């Protein structure tokens, strides 16, 4: 993606870190975020990562449809 805004850069970092956490969950059956932050806060972090992924998908759609 060309020229991400600050929000786009934050979303990209969250999605990369979230992807690595899911990779650890898949390989080692250990949920890193929940292990570090507990159940409630870990769940909130997963929601934030999901919203970041949706935002990146939206930006990608805009870029592909030449609306930016």
The pLDDT tens digits for 7-16 are 999 999 999 9
- What is the chain's mean pLDDT, rounded? 91
Q: Could you give the residue ranges of the DSSP H alpha helices within 1-68?
A: 6-28, 32-37, 39-64
Q: Are 42 and 32 in contact (CB under 8 A)?
A: no
Q: Distances from the Cα of 35 to the Cαs of 3, 32, 38, 39, 44, in angstroms?
A: 35, 5, 6, 8, 13
Question: Residue 66: pLDDT band by 50, 70, 90 thresholds?
Answer: confident
Q: Are 33 and 46 in contact (CB under 8 A)?
A: yes
Query: What pLDDT is attached to residue 68?
Result: 56
pLDDT for residue 45 is more than 70 = yes
To which residue do tokens 């929000």 refer?
7
What are the boundaries of each domain within the chain? 6-64
Question: Residue 3: pLDDT band by 50, 70, 90 thresholds?
Answer: confident
Query: pTM of the entire structure?
Result: 0.82
């Amino acid at each position: 993606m060309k020229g991400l805004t600050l929000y786009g850069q934050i979303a990209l970092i969250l999605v990369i870190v979230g992807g690595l956490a899911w990779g650890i969950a898949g390989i080692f059956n250990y949920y890193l975020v929940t292990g570090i932050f507990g159940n409630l806060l870990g769940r909130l972090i997963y929601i934030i990562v999901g919203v970041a992924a949706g935002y990146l998908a939206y930006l990608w759609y805009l870029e592909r449809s030449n609306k930016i």
